[in-house]
Amino acid sequence: MKKHIVIVGGGFAGINLIKSLRNDKRFKITLVDKNNYHFFPPLIYQVATSFIEASNISYPFRKLFADNKNVKFHMGSLIRIFPEKNMIETDTGNLSYDYLVLGLGTESNFFGMENVRKCALPMKNIEEALYLRNYMLLTQEEAARNKDIQKAEKLQNIVIAGGGPTGVELAGMIAEMGKYIAKKEYPEIKLNLSSIYLIDALPTLLSPMSKLAQETAYEKLKELGVKILLNISVKDYVDGKVILSDGNFIETETLIWTSGVIGREIKGLPEKSIGKGRRLLVNAYHKVEETENIYALGDISLMLSEEKYPNGHPQLAQVAIQQGKNLGANFKRIEDGKVLHTFEYNDKGSMAIISKFNAVVDLPKHSFRGFLAWLTWLFIHIIPLVAFGSKVRLALEWFRLFITNNPSIRLILFPKRNTGDTAT
């Protein structure tokens, strides 16, 4: 009998698990995802800033696995797991399984601040990135029409909460686009009233990275005019005012939230399976604690058994990729009656782009910055894209845009259903 593996979540972990098992006749695989496409989260901020198209970092699941007869796709959102029945409920139907693999990833953590949750702009998926793109372009148009000097600063201020790689890369991208594009395309706007704020509760930017990376990010963003506020956190967002922990506030219509994540809620699992940050506690073989045949991979998993990472692995793409491959190999070992391999993370380093031709790269034994780091960043971010065509298109588009400083996809689109009413 073929073993049915249901994988919930088509991120790096799920995709690499499927790749390791596709065309293996001993397994039947069903991928469940609320979207019909895989996307590349590290570049989502470039979609949000109108630098690249969403299609450059996305690829349909059905096309990806069209030639793999043992792989099927089920579009739907997970509602609940029934471990005693070996079944999951989705909003589009129920599925039974022999093995269940959870790779749902995380969502934005607003730390209980309800106003921030309602009004801030997160950037965790394609939909949020496109919404943010529309929002910022619409705000620019409002600023161009604005005649009220007092309102000008509020419209033009952008506050980014979170000084990790996403916040740093986003701040650098927005600052550079303002420098090269806004001055030319929005002559009505008095740019001297514009400010980009980058706020973090920690004493440094890029806290998980090297001192070289932290200092470089701070220096280069300062040169670009970004106002960096460290040891300060956001406490509320009321009436267009970002309230800070030091008692001050910033007036803005744009609060972008990159300040932390939390595991997605999964109903039906034992309470003892849930760890810090709502991540799922797993053993060295990725099996969820207190379960028999349920596994978790990627950002949502929390493995405390590896000596080098007593607090769990970093929530990085490389971790998810390696975990997916390891679990795939272990499923084969189970069928072959062989000893399972424990997971050991091979740290290949981390990196962040700060500005045009300038990035920082931390390798396990060496850190560097500048143009070489920038080229490394480009190369490394092209490799994981799932389709060859996507790699080529993105590489060519990147080099064109970095040379010309003129992306042309700043389109304000309203993805609303056509009700039949037309106006021209």
The verdict on pTM exceeding 0.85 is yes
CATH number of domain containing 306: 3.50.50.60
Write out the two tokens for 417. 């259903």
For the chain, give the longest Cα–Cα distance: 74
Residue 241 domain-assigned?
yes
* Model pLDDT for residues 335-380, shown as the tens digit of each residue: 999 999 999 999 988 999 898 888 999 988 889 999 899 888 887 8
Residue 93 contacts residue 6 (beta carbons within 8 Å): no
Contacts of residue 94, defined as CB under 8 A and 6 or more positions apart, other chains included, come to 87, 88
How would residue 409 be classed by pLDDT, with cut points 50, 70 and 90? confident
* Model pLDDT for residues 99-151, shown as the tens digit of each residue: 999 999 999 999 999 999 999 999 999 999 999 999 999 999 999 898 887 78
Alpha carbon separation from 89 to 19, 72, 92 (Å, rounded): 25, 17, 8
Which of 153-167, 217-231, 391-405 has the lowest average pLDDT?
A: 391-405
Provide the number of structural domains found in the chain. 2
Domain boundary among 336, 360, 377: 336
Residue 231 domain-assigned?
yes
Domain boundary among 232, 259, 286: 259
How would residue 240 be classed by pLDDT, with cut points 50, 70 and 90? very high
Same domain for 283 and 230:
no
Residue 49 domain-assigned?
no
Contacts of residue 389, defined as CB under 8 A and 6 or more positions apart, other chains included, come to none
Same domain for 255 and 270:
no
Distance CA 242, CA 261 (A): 20
- pLDDT > 70: percent of the chain: 95
Give the per-residue pLDDT at 62.
96
Same domain for 274 and 240:
no
- Higher per-residue confidence, 408 vs 391: 391
Place of tokens 């989705």: 90
Residue 294 contacts residue 332 (beta carbons within 8 Å): no
Residue 206 domain-assigned?
yes
Same domain for 245 and 119:
yes
Mean pLDDT of 36-62: 91
22 in helix, strand or coil?
coil
Same domain for 217 and 86:
no
Write out the two tokens for 216. 């470089």
Distance CA 229, CA 138 (A): 27
Give the per-residue pLDDT at 20.
96
Residue 42 domain-assigned?
no
Query: Is residue 383 exposed (0-12), middle (13-18) or buried (19+ Cβ within 10 Å)?
Result: exposed
Same domain for 267 and 253:
no
- Higher per-residue confidence, 13 vs 405: 13
Same domain for 250 and 189:
yes
Q: Which one, of 264, 259, 267, lies nearest residue 277 by Cα?
A: 264
Which ranges of 233-350 does DSSP label H, i.e. alpha helix? Answer: 317-336
Same domain for 185 and 157:
yes
pLDDT exceeds 80 at position 50: yes
- Higher per-residue confidence, 416 vs 184: 184
Distance CA 129, CA 131 (A): 5
CATH number of domain containing 213: 3.50.50.100
Same domain for 211 and 181:
yes
Domain boundary among 295, 311, 336: 336
Which ranges of 225-316 does DSSP label H, i.e. alpha helix? Answer: none
Q: Which one, of 156, 133, 176, lies nearest residue 45 by Cα?
A: 133
Q: How many of the other CB atoms lie within 10 Å of CB of 395?
A: 16
How would residue 185 be classed by pLDDT, with cut points 50, 70 and 90? confident
Write out the two tokens for 388. 């060859």
Distance CA 294, CA 103 (A): 11
How would residue 419 be classed by pLDDT, with cut points 50, 70 and 90? very low
Distance CA 32, CA 16 (A): 14
Contacts of residue 337, defined as CB under 8 A and 6 or more positions apart, other chains included, come to none
How would residue 422 be classed by pLDDT, with cut points 50, 70 and 90? very low
Same domain for 224 and 271:
no
pLDDT exceeds 50 at position 420: no
Q: What's the whole-number average pLDDT of the chain?
A: 91
Determine the structural domain holding residue 90 and report its residue range: 3-34+76-108+261-336
196 in helix, strand or coil?
strand
Place of tokens 């003892």: 272
Write out the two tokens for 29. 């695989």
Residue 353 domain-assigned?
no
Residue 270 contacts residue 174 (beta carbons within 8 Å): no
Residue type, 55: S
Residue 190 domain-assigned?
yes
pLDDT exceeds 70 at position 310: yes
Give the per-residue pLDDT at 408.
67
Residue type, 378: L
Q: Which one, of 219, 187, 193, lies nearest residue 206 by Cα?
A: 219
Distance CA 394, CA 47 (A): 12
pLDDT exceeds 70 at position 49: yes
Mean pLDDT of 161-172: 95
Residue 128 is inside which H or E element, if any?
Answer: helix 126-145
Residue 386 domain-assigned?
no
Same domain for 118 and 19:
no
* Model pLDDT for residues 206-231, shown as the tens digit of each residue: 998 999 999 999 999 999 999 999 99
Give the per-residue pLDDT at 417.
43
Query: Is residue 297 exposed (0-12), middle (13-18) or buried (19+ Cβ within 10 Å)?
Result: buried
Residue 269 contacts residue 83 (beta carbons within 8 Å): yes
Mean pLDDT of 231-250: 96
Same domain for 12 and 104:
yes
* Model pLDDT for residues 325-337, shown as the tens digit of each residue: 999 999 999 999 9
